[in-house]
Amino acid sequence: MTDRDPLLAPFEALIGTWDTELAEVFFEGFARNFGLMANYTYVDSKIDYLGVVAVPGVGNVTAVVRPDESLTNLSENMANLTFYFENDKLGARISLAERDDYLTSVPGRNGTYVERTEGTTNVDISANFNFNDKLKLTFEALNLTDESENQRLDATILPANVVSYFHETGRQFFVGLRYTL
C-alpha cells in the first residue's frame, strides 16, 4: 500500500490472485467412467475503507477508518474438489468445498468496526439412476459436515468477537423422481 495517490485511495484496491484449476481427469480402462474436478484460489486483497468521523470543532469528515482490510465477501483461500462416476444408467458425485473466514461488511452493525463470516468446509453427494430415457431417480445429500454460517462482530463498543448471526440448516436430504414427456 505504498506510493498511492491519496486522492484516489478511496477508489483503489490492491488485489493479488493465484488460481489453478484441474477441469476434468478421465481415467482409462475399467475406471473410464470416473472423473475428477478441482480448483484452488488464493487472493490477497487490501483496501482502505472510508467512513464518517466526527472531528470536534470541524464536524463530520470522511476519513480512512479501516486501513489495509480485505475486500468484502472474499476469502483468502478457496478450494473445491469433486470426484465422480457417470455412465448411461448411473451417476454419482462427492464434492468438497472449503473457504477461509472473510470480511462481510464495513462498517458492521450496532457500532462495530466490521463483521466477519467464519470459513466453512462442506461435503455434498448426489446420485442419479436412469430407469430409461424418460424416467430418472435422483438423490442429494447436502452439508454432510453439518456446517453452520456464523458472523462475528469486531466491536468498538461491545466486546470483540461477538456472534451476530448464527444460521444452521443441518444436513439436508432430497429424493426426486423425474419423468420427461
Cis peptide before 10 (omega within 30 of 0): no
Q: End-to-end alpha-carbon separation of the chain, Å? A: 60
pLDDT (tens digit per residue) in 59-96: 887 777 777 788 888 899 999 999 999 999 999 999 99
pLDDT in tens, 122-135: 999 999 999 999 99
Three cell numbers written together for 57: 470543532
The 10s digit of each residue's pLDDT in 27-68 is 677 778 888 888 998 888 888 887 777 788 888 877 777 777
d(CA 140, CA 129): 12
> Any idea which residue has 455412465 for its cell?
87
Q: 70 with 101: CB under 8 angstroms? A: no
The DSSP code for 31 is G
Q: What is the pLDDT of residues 10-26, one digit of tens each?
A: 445 556 666 666 666 66
Residues 21, 61: contact at Cβ < 8 Å? no
The pLDDT value given to residue 57: 84
